Structure 1
Amino acid sequence: MDFFPSRTLAFYMAKMLMVRTIAVLALLVLVLQALDLLGESGRILAQETNGQSQLWTYVTWRAPQLIQRFLPFAVLLGTIVTAATLNQNSEVISMKAGGLSAHQILAPLIITSMFVALISFMFNEIVVAPATAKLSAWEKVDYGPVPAASNVRTNVWVRDGDNLINAKTVTGRGQQVVLEDITIYDRTNSGLTSLMQSEEGRFSGSSWVLTGVTQFNVLTGTEEQKASVTIGESLRPDQFTLADVKADSLSFPQLRSAIAELKEAGRPTMGLEASLWHKISGPLSATLMPLLGAVAAFGLARSGQLFVRAVLGMALGFAYFVADNFSLAMGTIGAYPPILAAWAPFILFFLIGETVLIRTEE
């Protein structure tokens, strides 16, 4: 009943998995980052003020996304390489001859993958979410001036009756929301009557005070400068801050807070709730990879089926990622309940992995 009868053996297998996972992840990120940079460098350098430093800025913000997305793949491939190596060198046979069961052989790999899952969750919260928010804001301004804050929302559109309001940047939360570079399209019967531009807008508690206003009257063709204008008594600050909530750009506490605000505003939140749960189930999927890829560790290497077993383990792992993406997409559109969308693939493939392991080895 002891899952770790040998500490030396456990550390040996854990080290093998970690080294191979890091090597596979580094190779994947390096190749994919180079291809991605080739595709985006033209758009980045199209801005006259952009140069080599902006390319490195893009790499700095893009690389964490690639690491987050392909870390479970790296654990899967690392597990298959580790298992195939142990099998090829007859180390699995030695461990089984020493009285270890299949689950005892896999235990060090599963514990190591749990450690990887914990690191992945912390990395996503601390690094990936802020980097994604900055990169998303930078892309919306066509790689122009880099937004200074990670919580900046860019190019936000809000409708107020027939009127349309566009804010190039929105910062702050609640009553402290600040709008910058504002354009207001005043329409009557779907026809444009005036165009108002403002440098900054702040919420006063019941309305919006715009400063540095330039108003152009379409009917008369005249332009008028005003120091300040009060508008939008029916406009709420959350209409700007919650206009475009992206789960990937928010940490777990921030997303949970945004969901609560959306519920208070009477907006649908099922898609965001699925993404909230997936922030836990996503990193935790790394713990499934040793179980799904373990089929490559068992069976006689000289039987000629080692490659077939490795391919089977890879197929099980990739099938999980396909099912996970499909389930999350169904949860985003509201076809699946949020908890089911996030956790159903994990539970299903855990049962599949256990079934394959027990049927073949135990």
Structure 2
Amino acid sequence: MNFANFFPSRTISLYMAKMFVVRTFAILGALVLVLQALDLLSESGKILAYAGNGDAEVWRYVGMRTPQIIETFLPFSVLLGTILTLSQLNQNSEVIAMKASGLSAHQVLAPLMVAGLVVAVVSFGFNERVVARATSTLAQWKKVEYGPLPVDRGDRNNVWVRDGDNLIAVESIRGRGDAAQLSGVTINERKNQSLVAIVTGDKGRRDGTGWRIENARRFDVASGKLTQLGSIRVADGVRPDQFTLATVDADGMSFSALAEAIDDLKAAGRPTDALEGSLWHKFSGPLSAILMPLLGAVAAFGLARSGKLFVRAVMGMALGFLYFVADNFALAMGNLGAYPPLVAAWGPFLLFLAIGEAVLLKTEE
């Protein structure tokens, strides 16, 4: 079977795709304007409250906040663009004409789904190149209450890593790589998950593949004896980046950077299920643009007999919004550890893909 035969004619396919894309981005533009204006009402006062800030800082905030709004509301815009396109096609009896020519429901929707795939690819690239950087920078700017951004030298506080059965906690780490300096080091020596001894030290520095701890002291739990050890070498194989990865903001990192951070956290013995769910959602989130034509298809078929265009459009919107609710719920459950990462990221997509197919087949009947 020729794959091109699955689509309507080239003219009809381009016509439908153009309608879909124009309406999607027109709705997105309107949403961004309104939501950005509302957001500025609450944030502009905080921005201007910092001495020396003015219009330039307000526009800087807009430049970083707008990509976040686009990322959040692009799927909603695709849903509404789909429903508007299909409703107009059906109202003008164009869907009836396509069905009368022998096209199936899937063939009628094919141009919109291909256009949705293009939107998904553009959305993924935009999220990777623009949104992740804007989110990271804006989060740092908010922490300093819209003042000058500090230079990130890799300083972290209250960090712990695992070295075999032992747990290592440091009050602070400054610098990166082999130049990293530890302060307030505590090593919990464990055997068979039981605490055997506690080693503390004032400072630590990189020593080959391990760490040199100064003024070390060892407290034996069984005997209650405290022993002065002086300078000792510990944690062979523990890398500096395992200390510096104290917190990871999945929204502020690209796919490759987040995948690398997850690998480092796994090596440090930390749980990563929530981050893995967010990692795979960087794919499943943009791909929801392919799902929207299927969920909104209820607005395209069966209207000639029922005459309830508005009701069917509302049903399409309800299905789409229910998907977004389920998607956010699954991510929340993934963050709590109740859902495995792949289920949290892909479960709602696959579920509503099946629901959309079922509704489409039922509606076409």
Q: TM-score, normalised by structure 2?
A: 0.79
Say whether residues 1:328 and 2:331 are aligned partners. yes
Quote the residue 1:47 is aligned against: 50
Say whether residues 1:136 and 2:156 are aligned partners. no
Quote the residue 1:32 is aligned against: 35
Distance in 1 between the 2:298 and 2:181 partners?
A: 56
Say whether residues 1:124 and 2:130 are aligned partners. no
Distance in 1 between the 2:357 and 2:316 partners?
A: 13
Per-residue CA deviations over 1:169-199 (Å, capped at 9, x if unaligned) read x775x446699xxxx799xxxxxxxxx9xxx
Say whether residues 1:361 and 2:364 are aligned partners. yes
What 5-or-longer segments of structure 2 have no aligned partner? 161-167, 186-201, 215-230
Say whether residues 1:249 and 2:252 are aligned partners. yes
Distance in 2 between the 1:202 and 1:57 partners?
A: 39
Quote the residue 2:347 is aligned against: 344
Counterpart contact for 1:158–1:240, Cα < 8 Å: no
Quote the residue 1:296 is aligned against: 299
CA separation of 1:119 and 1:202: change in aligned 2, threshold 3 A: farther
**Out of 96, 99, 114, which is 2:99 matched to?**
96
1:97 is displaced (CA, Å) by 1.3
Per-residue CA deviations over 1:260-304 (Å, capped at 9, x if unaligned) read 100111110000011011111111111100000011011235843
Distance in 2 between the 1:66 and 1:171 partners?
A: 34
Distance in 1 between the 2:159 and 2:67 partners?
A: 35
CA separation of 1:203 and 1:63: change in aligned 2, threshold 3 A: farther
1:360 is displaced (CA, Å) by 1.4
Distance in 1 between the 2:92 and 2:313 partners?
A: 15
Distance in 1 between the 2:31 and 2:155 partners?
A: 33
SS at match of 1:288: helix
Distance in 1 between the 2:249 and 2:356 partners?
A: 33
SS at match of 1:283: coil
Per-residue CA deviations over 1:151-183 (Å, capped at 9, x if unaligned) read x48884225889844x8xx775x446699xxxx
Quote the residue 2:220 is aligned against: none
Counterpart contact for 2:242–2:265, Cα < 8 Å: no
- Among the aligned pairs, what percent are the same residue? 62
Amino acid at match of 1:109: L
CA separation of 1:162 and 1:90: change in aligned 2, threshold 3 A: closer
Counterpart contact for 2:242–2:264, Cα < 8 Å: no
Bigger CA drift: 94-103 or 108-117?
Answer: 94-103
Distance in 1 between the 2:54 and 2:37 partners?
A: 17
Counterpart contact for 1:75–1:286, Cα < 8 Å: yes
Distance in 1 between the 2:213 and 2:74 partners?
A: 46
Bigger CA drift: 300-309 or 239-248?
Answer: 300-309
Counterpart contact for 2:159–2:246, Cα < 8 Å: no
Say whether residues 1:158 and 2:158 are aligned partners. yes
1:332 is displaced (CA, Å) by 1.0
Distance in 2 between the 1:18 and 1:176 partners?
A: 52
Amino acid at match of 1:128: V
How many correspondences in the alignment? 319
Per-residue CA deviations over 1:55-93 (Å, capped at 9, x if unaligned) read 111111111111111111000000000011111111111
Distance in 1 between the 2:24 and 2:55 partners?
A: 31
Counterpart contact for 1:153–1:241, Cα < 8 Å: no
Per-residue CA deviations over 1:21-53 (Å, capped at 9, x if unaligned) read 000000111111111111111111111021111
Counterpart contact for 1:84–1:297, Cα < 8 Å: yes
Counterpart contact for 2:20–2:85, Cα < 8 Å: yes
Quote the residue 1:215 is aligned against: none
Amino acid at match of 2:158: V
Counterpart contact for 2:159–2:243, Cα < 8 Å: no
1:99 is displaced (CA, Å) by 1.3
CA RMSD in angstroms comes to 3.1
Counterpart contact for 1:242–1:262, Cα < 8 Å: yes
Say whether residues 1:78 and 2:53 are aligned partners. no
Quote the residue 1:191 is aligned against: none
Per-residue CA deviations over 1:227-251 (Å, capped at 9, x if unaligned) read xxx9x98897336521110100111
SS at match of 2:21: helix
SS at match of 2:50: coil
Q: TM-score, normalised by structure 1?
A: 0.80
Quote the residue 1:267 is aligned against: 270
